[in-house]
Amino acid sequence: MKKLAIAVLVLILLAGGAVFYVWNGLQPVQSTETPVEFTVESGMSTSSIADLLEEKGLIKNALILKGYLKLSGEGSRLMAGTYEATPGTPFKELLSKMNKGEVKPEEMVRFTIPEGYTILQMAETIAQESGIDEKEFLKVVDQPSGWDVPIAGEIPQEADLRHHLEGYLFPATYELPKKDITAKGIVETMLKETEKRLAEIPGWERQLEARGVTFHELMTIASLVEREVVADQERALVAGVIYNRLEEDMRLEIDATVQYLLDKPKERLLYADLEVESPYNTYRQKGLPPGPISSPSLESIQAALNPEKSDYLFYVTKKDGTQEHLFAKTYKEHLKNIETSKKMAQQ
């Protein structure tokens, strides 16, 4: 009888020890604040997942977890993906995370390109936000070929272009996966965004044909409007003035084309600036510059497609803080507007 009691006691102790062993093996590991990343590959067995969790220090005992998964049947629902958890997370929370596919949010790069930005301004912004070297970005945007985006094929192969893709990268806010980000990938995304936004203009290709200009000329005019106009209601009217001057074989004499040639824009151009030798200097050269001088907004593109008809050939900025313009049909009227604008500044 005594031996039987001892045997029963030993069995109880062994059973208790086994229960404690299992219980302890399923308890969370010591907590830390540093998250641990782990990846469940597609087709990975529950046994391998348990081993991975132990290897990453997220569970105490893979063997016990394997047994639990087999008995509970939870292992059949674990989803592939990259996860993140902190040591000390209960194993049921780990399983719940994998059952629901609550993968680690992909690290993204976010940057905003304002309307009217030049390639140089873009390069600086993108470098700050993504870490991509400015020179690498500029090298990519100057590539004349290798773009699987139809609008890129509309750009003339001219040596006079300061930057090949100037004006063709749409100004917007972008959010891209950081792990795969490249200068070329960014540029292609921005080119495709331009195509996507153009599609928002009903029948724009038909309108372009009716306007009698090439797509490259359209984007050039739109970029001029973008840099010249602040008040939205004037975009189409200024576009009309540009077309009028082109039809009259007049120099455009647009300050923004000279500003484009400067390393940093000036608040006020000097007469010496207007004499710079460049095909972009519309004070010296007739016609449009070789290409866009900035990335135009959709509104400026629409204005270039549908300019407002008028007899105006001149405009000058009002110096009253509105940043609107005074328009004139003749040079004499234009001179009067200049004087009117000066008086506004004195008031």
pLDDT tens for 150-203 read 999 999 987 789 999 999 999 999 999 988 899 999 999 999 999 999 999 999
pTM exceeding the 0.85 threshold for the entire prediction: no
The pLDDT score that the predictor gives to residue 24 is 60
CA distance to 28, 39, 70, 75, per residue, from 54 (Å): 11, 13, 17, 16
pLDDT tens for 1-20 read 555 545 444 445 444 444 54
The pLDDT score that the predictor gives to residue 347 is 66
d(CA 162, CA 184): 19
d(CA 87, CA 32): 6
The pLDDT score that the predictor gives to residue 3 is 52
The pLDDT score that the predictor gives to residue 22 is 55
Cβ burial, residue 274 (10 Å; 0-12/13-18/19+): middle
pLDDT tens for 92-139 read 899 989 999 988 888 889 999 999 999 999 999 999 999 899 999 999
pLDDT tens for 62-95 read 888 888 888 887 777 889 999 999 999 998 899 9
Please, which residues have CB within 8 angstroms of residue 41's CB and are 6 or more apart in sequence? Answer: 80
Mean pLDDT rounded to a whole number for the chain: 88
Helix axes 91-100, 62-72, angle to 10 degrees: 60
The pLDDT score that the predictor gives to residue 7 is 45
* DSSP code, position 336: H
The pLDDT score that the predictor gives to residue 73 is 78
**Pair of tokens at residue 249:** 């074989």
Helix axes 183-198, 298-305, angle to 10 degrees: 50
The pLDDT score that the predictor gives to residue 125 is 95
Name the more confident of 227 and 30.
Answer: 227
The pLDDT score that the predictor gives to residue 1 is 54
Please, which residues have CB within 8 angstroms of residue 168's CB and are 6 or more apart in sequence? Answer: 151, 152, 155, 191, 194, 219, 292, 295
pLDDT tens for 283-331 read 999 999 999 999 999 999 999 999 999 999 999 998 888 889 999 999 9
Pick the closest to residue 171 from 260, 299, 295, 292 (CA basis). Answer: 295
The pLDDT score that the predictor gives to residue 111 is 95
Give the pLDDT band of residue 25 (cuts 50, 70, 90): low
CA-CA-CA-CA torsion for 166, 169, 124, 283, nearest 10 degrees? 30
Pick the closest to residue 166 from 131, 116, 208 (CA basis). Answer: 116
The pLDDT score that the predictor gives to residue 23 is 52
Residue by residue, DSSP assigns 100-143 as HT-PPPPPEEEEE--TT--HHHHHHHHHHHH---HHHHHHHHT-
d(CA 37, CA 52): 11
Q: Is the pLDDT of residue 249 over 60?
A: yes
